[in-house]
Amino acid sequence: MTAAEDILSRPAVRRRRFGLSNLRGRISWTFVAGFLILLASLVLAIAPGLIAPYKPAAFDYKAILKPPSLAHPFGSDNFGRDILSRTIWAYRIDLQIAFFGTLFPVVFGTFVGAMVGYYGGWLETIFGRVVDAVITFPFLVLVIAIVAVLGPGLFNLYIAVSIVGWIFYARLIAAEIKVQKRLDYAAAGRVMGYSTARIILRHLLPNAITAALIYWMTDMALCILLGSSLGYLGLGAQPPTAEWGVLIADGKNYMSTAWWISIFPGVAIVITGLGFSLLGDGLSDMLRPKR
């Protein structure tokens, strides 16, 4: 090799290695902020008993509708239940809603999206009609209608969200797979004789899934909002379960006299939703592949 060739074939200046350290220097503050918020939420959800000062359903008739004080930092409701404790206990329910409400949509939507994007043809035509049919209705209206038919309760809420939610993941994945499968690395995989499953799972999906992962984070926040909305309407979690939507509904008759009943669960929703959004935003910066 001549000297000139030697210089040209030397590694480029950027010397980052693959793996976790590859992300070093790319970790964004939004990711860290979102991660910390969600970590704290997770701790509250796993061990509310250790942190909350009272049991979530403990009545105290000596402390009815008391404003925030040292004994009840977030105040108490019309049964004398501690709002702080109920808000903390609700983390468990609402994070569950966020996770189980989106789990099936993510898995099934990714699968359908990969198939539709890869094979196209009549599969794509059918899928297109299904998408049209579903997005004609506002998401919330459709979910409320399904829950109303199935009956209120968390499990039926998961079913309703799953029936509708997978569409959005499938659309994102299908669009992205369609782009990726035209690139030469997919052709190279076929020339190599790799199976279709390997090409989709090992090659196309890792490059196609980023948008769906980020949407998942936002979707979890939306799902909490939805769960709370349905809880508020009496279609989701049922009282006396401590769930943010239920808590807000509990306080709706006392808004002018005891604002704290509804406000603090609302703040918890906002903070958790913010956590998911920040995490998704940070992930989108970090997962963007370099070309």
**Closest listed residue to residue 244, CA positions, set 263, 257, 220, 258:** 263
Could you give phi then psi for residue 76, rounded to 5 degrees? -135, 165
Among 185, 234, 270, 271, binds other proteins (CB under 8 A): 185
Identity of the residue numbered 68:
P
Question: Please, what is the minimum distance in Å from the beta carbon of residue 113 to other proteins?
Answer: 18
- Cα dihedral sign, 266-159-147-238: negative
Q: Tell me the window of 99-107, 137-145, 187-195, 252-260 that interacts with other proteins (CB under 8 A).
A: 187-195
Question: Looking at 183, 255, 270, 271, which residue binds other proteins (CB under 8 A)?
Answer: 183
CA-CA distance, 36 to 27, in Å (whole number)? 13
Pick from 8, 20, 70, 141 the residue near other proteins by CB under 8 A.
8
Does residue number 22 form part of the binding site for other proteins (CB under 8 A)? yes
| Number of chain residues interacting with other proteins (CB under 8 A) | 31
Minimum distance from CB of 211 to other proteins (Å)? 14
Among 3, 7, 15, 62, binds other proteins (CB under 8 A): 15
Q: Crossing angle for the helix pair 260-287 and 29-46, nearest 10 degrees?
A: 130
Q: Cα dist. 53→71, 76, 266 in Å?
A: 9, 12, 20
Residue closer to other proteins (CB basis): 11 or 151: 11
Among 161, 172, 171, which residue's Cα sits nearest to residue 212?
172
Give residues 91-150 in contact with other proteins (rule: CB under 8 A): none
The residue (of 6 and 132) whose beta carbon lies closer to other proteins is 6
Contact residue for other proteins among 71, 187, 201, 267 (CB under 8 A): 187
Q: DSSP for 163-207?
A: HHHHHHHHHHHHHHHHHHHTSHHHHHHHHTT--HHHIIIIIIHHH
Q: Binding other proteins by CB under 8 A: which of 139, 194, 218, 274?
A: 194
What is the Cα–Cα distance from 186 to 193, expressed in whole angstroms?
11
49-57, 188-196, 222-230, 257-265 -> range binding other proteins (CB under 8 A): 188-196
Q: Give the span between the Cα atoms of 163 and 109, in whole angstroms.
A: 10
Among 7, 11, 50, 121, binds other proteins (CB under 8 A): 11
208 close to 180: Cβ distance less than 8 angstroms: yes
Segment interacting with other proteins, rule: CB under 8 A, options 101-109, 201-209, 220-228, 259-267: 201-209
Chain positions contacting other proteins, by CB under 8 A: 1, 5, 8-12, 14-18, 22, 183-185, 187-188, 190-194, 198, 202-203, 206-207, 289-291
